[in-house]
Chains A and B, each alone.
Chain A
Amino acid sequence: MLELRGLGCEKSYINGLTTNPTLMKKVGITDYRAFCKDILKSINKKPLSFEVFSDDFDVMESQVLEIASWGGNVFVKIPITNTKK
């Protein structure tokens, strides 16, 4: 994720960043909130999307509100359905 931070900060042709739970798991992230807040310290001008990961729409809603509160440049990713379609 250091590469991601570098991309977001330094490359003028990169206009925004996205991530998802699968990518985050792959790079070994275990503390979702700590990772996001850490990234947001360096990336606070370009749009950055973090995804909710609950399967229940009520819990999703509380996750959305928390994620959205992390920064003016944060977009909340919501999957088109939950796993129950």
Chain B
Amino acid sequence: MKTVEQLNVKIFADGADKASMLDMYGKSFISGLTTNPTLMNKAGIRDYKSFAFDVLSEIKDKPISFEVFSDDFVDMERQAYEIASWGENVYVKLPITNTKRETCYMLVEKLAAQKVKLNVTALMTINQVQDVVAALDPNVPSYVSVFAGRIADTGRDPIPLMTAAVESLKASPAAELIWASPRELLNIFQADEIGCHVITVTNDILKKLSQVGYDLDDFSLDTVKMFYSDARAAGFRL
């Protein structure tokens, strides 16, 4: 079994809490960061730009993605240019469609032609992957984020789709596939196994990295001890 250091897949930290973003940024096994409006809202952020500037004052040399949040492609374009101007390491996240199901491909082409580094996000089908790859500039660094965990939440195995997506991305050599919304630590190893370039992982899963390769007899004993001490702490009697 591989150790974390032996993995080829790059691990990104997904979050919007500044302290934990900086904590993760400082770790050698974290190669980049991502966030999104939902995480930012949850973290109580109200001033988008000042939050981004604040984070970017400390994170300058690892890729970090900030998402546009307009529903109108003209306004999205304006937001994309502004976000892109905030730093060399900044990638602009663009949703695959707006809320009216209108696809972002024209805007991807336009922005890619201007060398804006994109992270096209919220993809769930191989057709979307192929359409995005066709719209990207093969020489501009970019990410394609497929929500493998959300696919898994529908009862479908995301691995065949992710494997096909790795293949599709070969047409755009500067683009990398992101396994987004992982649900368990195992997903990091699955992403690595299929040659996925990046996996973006939230803190709750990153915390489990210390368990990689842990002896299962010892883990079993830990579990037994947990039940025992919780029963004692609760004062259960029979």
Q: Is the CB of B228 within 8 A of A83?
A: yes
Q: Is the CB of A81 within 8 A of B224?
A: yes
How far apart are A37's CB and chain B's nearest CB, in angstroms? 12
Q: How many residues of B contact A (CB 8 A)?
A: 17
Which stretch from B34-42, B43-51, B54-62, B229-237 is at the chain A interface?
B229-237
Q: Is the CB of B221 within 8 A of A25?
A: no
Q: Is the CB of A21 within 8 A of B238?
A: no
Chain B 212-238, CB-CB to A under 8 Å as 1, else 0, gives 000000001101111110111111111
Chain A 15-40, CB-CB to B under 8 Å as 1, else 0, gives 00000111011000110110000000
**Chain A contacts of B221 at CB under 8 A?**
81, 83, 85
Measured CB to CB, the nearest residue on chain A to B237 is A32
Q: Is the CB of A53 within 8 A of B224?
A: no
Measured CB to CB, the nearest residue on chain B to A21 is B231
**Chain A contacts of B232 at CB under 8 A?**
53
Measured CB to CB, the nearest residue on chain A to B238 is A63
Is A43 part of the contact surface with B, judged by Cβ < 8 Å? no
Q: Is the CB of A53 within 8 A of B227?
A: yes
Q: Is the CB of B235 within 8 A of A30?
A: yes
Most chain A CB within a 10 A radius of its CB, from B224, B226, B227, B228: B227
A33–B235 alpha-carbon span in the complex (Å): 12
Which of B226, B228, B233 sits near A55, CB closer than 8 Å?
Answer: B228
Is A79 part of the contact surface with B, judged by Cβ < 8 Å? yes
Interface residues on A, range: 20 to 34
Q: A21-B230, A25-B231 are in contact. Are A32 and B236 (CB under 8 A)?
A: yes
Q: Is the CB of B220 within 8 A of A53?
A: no
**Chain A contacts of B226 at CB under 8 A?**
22
Q: Is the CB of A53 within 8 A of B231?
A: yes
Q: Is the CB of A25 within 8 A of B234?
A: yes
A30–B237 alpha-carbon span in the complex (Å): 9
How far apart are B229's CB and chain A's nearest CB, in angstroms? 8
A80–B227 alpha-carbon span in the complex (Å): 12
Chain A residues 42 to 69 lying within 8 A of chain B, measured CB to CB, are 51, 53, 55, 62-63, 66-67
Chain A residues close to B by CB (< 8 Å): 20-22, 24-25, 29-30, 32-33, 51, 53, 55, 62-63, 66-67, 79-83, 85
Instruction: Given contacts A81-B221, A81-B224, list 19 more A-B pairs with CB under 8 A.
Output: A20-B227, A21-B227, A21-B228, A21-B231, A21-B236, A22-B230, A24-B236, A29-B234, A32-B231, A32-B236, A33-B238, A51-B227, A53-B227, A53-B236, A63-B238, A66-B238, A79-B223, A79-B224, A83-B224
Chain B residues close to A by CB (< 8 Å): 220-221, 223-228, 230-238
